[in-house]
Amino acid sequence: MLKRLMKSALAACVVLPTAVMAADLDSMTPEQLLPLAQKEGSVTVFSLSSRIAKIEKAFEETYPGIDLIGLDMSSTKQIARLEAEQQAGVHAVDVLYIADTPVVFSKLLEAKRIVNYVPPRVAGQIDDRYKGPLLTQRLSTKVLMYNEKAFPDGSPVTNLWQLTQPEWQGKVLMVDPSQRGELLDLLTEIALHPDEMAAAYKAQFGKDIVVDADLQGAGEQFIKDLFANDLILVPNSDVLNKSVGDVNAKNPPVGFGTYSDRRDNEKEGWALQVANNVEPANGILFPAVLTIADKAPHPAAARLLIDFMFGDDTPTGGAGFEPFNVPGDYATRTTIGHHPDSVKLAELKAWTIDPAKTAAARGRVSDLIITLQ
């Protein structure tokens, strides 16, 4: 695969006229980008979502002559791979579809390993907060999920502190935060809300919380208590979803997962549902961003792909966005309506992460987790 990508990158270097600089490409319409992209012949994307396979098919049908190479890869692995390749002088990937923005900002953007690009076609339909420092295509989640068949009356958990009690011992799942940065972001966000976590503690137990001397606030105390109650760390979301959502389960666990995975309920035999009425929050909303790798070998095709993944002018976004127009994903392009089966964004009881604040606090929370495992 690497040889194929390097060969493709070398080909692009001789095809694209040197006079066509990035600034020129940034201002081009899809119609203007298309002939240049077709000369480049391909575009490679690292994607946090397996749904890139659907985008691959739709993109190639829309723009014949451009081979989309989509590699499904966690944000953590994307960051490590891009750093390693660029340090070795290899520039093989064009586009990153990535989350874990606290690390992306510090390790990739500040190091100038990626560049921001906002398609002119949709720029006026995206709020400024989603256009920089990197372009957010949608908001995704890591929130508490439960089995709606086993619990038809609604979530069995209404306060996060319940998860630290004996009835949930060994029955709370999470993908290992050392493997998925979004879960470390989730735990960090809990730590960043000590007052709300303290209020939720008092609401649950009727008394003020006493925080251990070595901890900073009620959020860190929750993390410690959650691990002490035998939090189960699993290797990936597939394991979590099957364990939590299995329609045949009689007494299933709950887990911090991805709300939009509910889209696969019928196909996989799951009964996943978001636990929304949870104090003080059910998890986090975080940005899924699209960005271009520094010295991308196919710069025109990279921009054409990012434009495509913001969808067409229909309410669902058409083939370029429909794979992400599912319950639990929230488009940043204002012309695209949220899925009717989604909890409305304004009503979703999740904290929206601030990447800068999260980045500053992650190290302490990561160190805490190491001591608890």
Please state, in angstroms and rounded to a whole number, the distance separating the CA atoms of residues 2 and 6: 6
Q: Note whether 100 and 157 are same-domain residues.
A: no
Number of structural domains the chain divides into: 2
What is the per-residue pLDDT for 14? 41
Q: Note whether 107 and 187 are same-domain residues.
A: no
- 172-175 and 232-234: which strand pairing? parallel
Tokens of 221: 């105390």
- 254-257 and 172-175: which strand pairing? parallel
- 350-352 and 283-293: which strand pairing? parallel
Give the global pTM.
0.87
Q: Note whether 168 and 304 are same-domain residues.
A: no
- Picking from 2-16, 176-190, 233-247, 330-344, which range would have the lowest pLDDT averaged per residue? 2-16
Tokens of 317: 């976004």
Please state, in angstroms and rounded to a whole number, the distance separating the CA atoms of residues 189 and 211: 17
- Cβ atoms of 6 and 92 within 8 Å: the answer is yes
% the chain with pLDDT above 70: 94
Mean pLDDT of 296-318: 97
What is the per-residue pLDDT for 373? 85
Please state, in angstroms and rounded to a whole number, the distance separating the CA atoms of residues 272 and 240: 10
Q: Note whether 248 and 297 are same-domain residues.
A: no
- Cβ atoms of 70 and 308 within 8 Å: the answer is no
Residue type (1 letter), 322:
E
Q: Note whether 221 and 356 are same-domain residues.
A: yes
Please state, in angstroms and rounded to a whole number, the distance separating the CA atoms of residues 152 and 220: 32
Cα dihedral sign, 352-358-361-364? positive
179 — pLDDT class (breaks 50, 70, 90): confident
- On the question of pLDDT at 8 being above 80, the answer is no
- On the question of pLDDT at 234 being above 80, the answer is yes
- Digit-coded pLDDT (tens) for 105-156: 989 999 999 999 999 999 999 999 999 999 999 999 999 999 999 999 999 9
Mean pLDDT of 315-334: 95
Q: Note whether 124 and 233 are same-domain residues.
A: no
- Digit-coded pLDDT (tens) for 33-66: 999 999 999 999 999 999 999 999 999 999 999 9
Tokens of 205: 């137990």
Q: Note whether 237 and 368 are same-domain residues.
A: yes
Q: Note whether 253 and 320 are same-domain residues.
A: no
Q: Note whether 215 and 358 are same-domain residues.
A: yes
Please state, in angstroms and rounded to a whole number, the distance separating the CA atoms of residues 135 and 128: 9
- On the question of pLDDT at 7 being above 90, the answer is no
How much is the mean pLDDT over the chain? 93
Please state, in angstroms and rounded to a whole number, the distance separating the CA atoms of residues 238 and 240: 5
Q: Which helix (H) or strand (E) holds 15?
A: helix 2-15
The domain that holds 281 is classified in CATH as: 3.40.190.10
75 — pLDDT class (breaks 50, 70, 90): very high
Q: Note whether 168 and 246 are same-domain residues.
A: yes
Q: Note whether 11 and 97 are same-domain residues.
A: yes
Q: Note whether 277 and 323 are same-domain residues.
A: no
Mean pLDDT of 160-186: 96
> Which range marks the domain in which residue 187 is found?
141-285+349-372
- Digit-coded pLDDT (tens) for 87-106: 999 999 999 999 999 999 98
349 — pLDDT class (breaks 50, 70, 90): very high
What is the per-residue pLDDT for 11? 43
What is the per-residue pLDDT for 20? 58
